[in-house]
Amino acid sequence: MKVIHAAIVKPGTTLVNKTGGWRTFMPECNYELCNGCGICETYCPDSVIVKDGDRYAPNLDYCKGCGICANVCPKDAITMILEGK
Amino acid sequence: MTQLLAPGHRMCAGCGDALATKFALKGAGDRCIVVSPTGCIEVSTTPYPESSWNVPWIHSLFDNAGAVAAGIEWGLKKLGKKEDTTVMVIAGDGATFDIGLQAMSGAFERGHDMVYVCVDNEAYMNTGIQRSGATPYDASTTTSPAGKVSFGNPLPKKNMPAIMADHGSPYVATASIAYAKDAIRKVARAAEIEGPAYIQIHAPCCTGWKFDSSKTVEVGRLAVEAGLWPMYEMIDGRIEKAKKIRDRKPVEEYLRMQGRFKHLFTMEGGEEEIARIQAIADWNAEYYEME
Ligand SMILES: Cc1ncc(C[n+]2csc(CCOP(=O)(O)OP(=O)(O)O)c2C)c(N)n1
Ligand code: SF4
Ligand code: SF4
Ligand SMILES: [Mg+2]
């Protein structure tokens, strides 16, 4: 029997695992209310909120729908909506 | 910039450990080598053949992260390659308070230049919520279940920062995932200081503590505001700058948010138990001069 004692793998490779499929609720941002503070980006546990120009938006390929971004937003700009799939 | 911890990891939605890891990496920067013992962070970031890490990372045993980090630090020094590389352990509370304490104690005694980050979710979460030395008084876990004959964990939380400070650590700090800037700054400071530094980051676990995944940061903030998670830095064993809390919240507000304390609100005698927990917060407020 071949026993593997240790292995080296490539960095950053969990990107193949698109965790967006875990989601039930999806964050939706009202950019009229958003002031671009970036607090949502700071507290996203999956680091999926990215800055796009002066807007922050979640990468839905990986967003797990936890709802933290909506909870921490000081402007109540983010709402979690049931996602129709 | 590439995220030092790539998405696609399997930590639960709303995981406090994931936030603690993110902040630890932000504080240490990309010139670091990370050692993780077994636990939620290790298991969910490295399902073979994948890895979320974009810095060099090694999985130690559950019980020897301190020794593995010490070996890396020594090796780098002997090779003349230590320079500004930070050797950082990112470990759970079970791995730190209980199982890995001996290897860690040795590493701190010998004075290796490392940053030891304990991600404190207050139980052995990866194996299904067993009590550890970090579990707070009266929390219900699978090995300290609340029920007819018990209010949950009968023992107080071990004062791990004090134990590490007593090893002669030049820098010991507590932080919380609910205060990102503060946590990042403390890890950066620890990385700069020569010698073994210890940082304990409070990391609410929605799965083990039983609250909605959206409330991780809110729960973390309440622990601090209620005086149950004092935030301070210790330089050469002396407490410096404990965070001041204005209008301390009653512990009840914090307890009520979490299923692990639900029995305190339904069982006879629960009120007295809540008063005991309030006394812990009051003691903290006085000892750490929070007010
Ligand atoms: C020597 C040893 N004992 C037990 C285990 C099983 N085990 C794996 S992870 C884990 C729990 C880890 O708890 P903690 O360190 O608090 O990290 P968390 O999962 O809570 O983040 C246990 C008991 C193991 N891997 N090795
Ligand atoms: S719902 Fe959670 S995972 Fe999705 S963007 Fe918001 S914080 Fe990130
Ligand atoms: S069990 Fe808790 S610590 Fe572990 S991945 Fe889930 S939320 Fe994170
Ligand atoms: Mg734990």
Q: Is residue A26 part of a domain?
A: no
Q: In this predicted structure, what is the pLDDT of residue A85?
A: 60
| C-alpha B149 – ligand 3 centre gap (Å) | 28
Number of domains in chain A: 1
The pLDDT-based confidence of B41 (bands split at 50, 70, 90) is: very high
Chain B CB contacts of A45 under 8 Å are: 11, 13-16, 18-19, 22, 216
For B283, the token pair is 């003691």
Q: Which of B39, B91, B100, B41 is nearest to B67 (CA)?
A: B100
Q: What CATH number did the domain enclosing A49 receive? A: 3.30.70.20
The distance of B149 to chain A (nearest Cα, Å) reads: 35
In a domain, A44, yes or no: yes
Question: According to the model, what pLDDT value does residue A73 have?
Answer: 98
B42 pLDDT more than 90: yes
pLDDT of residue B152: 98
Residues B56-104 have pLDDT tens digits of 999 999 999 999 999 999 999 999 999 999 999 999 999 999 999 999 9
Closest Cα in chain B, distance from residue A83 (Å): 16
Region B28-43: mean pLDDT is: 98
Domain that holds residue A43: 31-82
Domain assignment present for residue A50? The answer is yes
Q: Is the pTM of this model over 0.80?
A: yes
Report the SS3 class of residue B198: strand
- Identify whether A65 is part of a domain: yes
> In this model, does residue B123 exceed pLDDT 80?
yes
Query: A21 in a domain, yes or no?
Result: no
Cβ–Cβ gap B5/A15 under 8 Å:
no
Give bridge partners of residue B130 from the DSSP assignment: B124
User: Of B241 and B159, which is predicted with more confidence?
Assistant: B159
Q: Give all strands (DSSP E) within B48-168, no chain letters.
A: 57-59, 86-92, 114-120, 146-147, 150-151
Instruction: Determine the straight-line distance between the first and last CA of chain B, rounded to whole angstroms.
Output: 40
B13 and A12 in contact by Cβ < 8 A? no
Residue B263, φ and ψ in degrees, nearest 5: -60, -25
Q: Which domains does chain B have, with CATH numbers?
A: 16-287 (3.40.50.970)
Task: Collapse the DSSP code of A71 into the 3-class scheme (helix H, G, I; strand E, B; otherwise coil) and give the result.
Answer: helix
pLDDT band at A4 (very low <50, low <70, confident <90, very high): confident
pLDDT digits (tens, 9 = 90+) for A31-85: 999 999 999 999 999 999 999 888 999 999 999 999 999 999 999 999 999 997 6
Average pLDDT over residues B15-35: 98
Q: For residue A66, is it within any domain?
A: yes
* β partners of residue A55: A52
- What residues of A are in contact with residue B218 (Cβ under 8 Å)? 71-72
B277, B170, B285: which is closest to B227 by C-alpha? Answer: B285
pLDDT digits (tens, 9 = 90+) for B218-258: 999 999 999 999 999 999 999 998 999 999 999 999 999 99
**Phi, then psi, of B238 in degrees rounded to 5:** -105, 130
Neighbours of A55 (CB within 10 A): 11
Convert B27-63 to b/e letters by CB count within 10 Å (16 or more is b).
Answer: bbeeebbbbbbbbbbbbbbbbeebbbbbbebbbbebb
Residue A2: is its pLDDT beyond 90?
no
pLDDT(B1) > 80: no
Q: Is residue A76 part of a domain?
A: yes
Which is it for the CA torsion B118, A42, A13, A63, positive or negative?
positive
Complex ipTM above 0.90?
A: yes
In a domain, A43, yes or no: yes
Which residues lie across from B90 on neighbouring strands?
Answer: B117
Whether the Cβ atoms of residue B22 and residue B5 lie closer than 8 Å to each other: yes
